[in-house]
């Protein structure tokens, strides 16, 4: 569960906030005037997010390339294209589950 603090609390207690996030592995949400403005994550959580984001970009690039190839060659029916997307999606979920 995440912890929420104000930006003033962050300024006064930065070391404690970093230690709390690092040791518990949970994010700290920083609010200004009651509005969430930032999140402080452990480095491991940040790295996992970056890897997820890079993999997501690569998956969408593959799907766009496959769609473009299909549009020019018209080789797949809509049902076949949807089945291919579902297979790719399931493979990705299986891959993510195995890395947890």
Band (37; pLDDT cuts 50, 70, 90): very high
Confidence of residue 98 (pLDDT cuts 50, 70, 90): confident
For residues 21-49, average pLDDT = 93
Do residues 5 and 17 make contact, with C-beta atoms less than 8 angstroms apart? yes
Question: What is the Cα–Cα distance from 27 to 36, expressed in whole angstroms?
Answer: 12
Does 94 share its domain with 49?
yes
Residues 35 and 56 in one domain: no
Count of domains forming the chain: 2
pLDDT at 100 over 80: no
- Report the percentage of the chain scoring pLDDT > 70: 96
The residue range of the domain holding 95 is 44-99
CA distance 100 to 93: 11
Co-location of 93 and 51 in the same domain: yes
What digits encode the pLDDT tens for the residues 52-85? 889 888 888 888 887 777 777 667 777 887 888 8
- Side-chain half-sphere exposure of 37, counting CA atoms within 13 A: 11
Query: Are 74 and 36 in a shared domain?
Result: no
The reply to whether 61 and 74 lie within a common domain is yes
Q: Is 25 helix (H, G, I), strand (E, B) or coil?
A: coil
C-alpha 43: how far from its chain's center? Answer: 14
CB 28 within 8 A of CB 39: yes
CATH code of the domain containing 21: 3.40.1620.10
């Amino acid at each position: 569960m995440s912890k929420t603090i104000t930006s003033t609390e962050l300024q006064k207690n930065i070391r404690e906030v970093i230690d709390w996030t690092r040791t518990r592995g949970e994010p700290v949400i920083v609010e200004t005037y009651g509005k969430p403005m930032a999140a402080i994550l452990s480095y491991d959580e940040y790295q996992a997010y970056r890897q997820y984001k890079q993999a997501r970009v690569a998956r969408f690039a593959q799907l766009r390339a496959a769609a473009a190839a299909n549009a020019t060659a018209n080789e797949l029916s809509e049902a076949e294209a949807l089945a291919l997307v579902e297979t790719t999606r399931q493979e990705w979920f299986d891959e993510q589950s195995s890395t947890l």
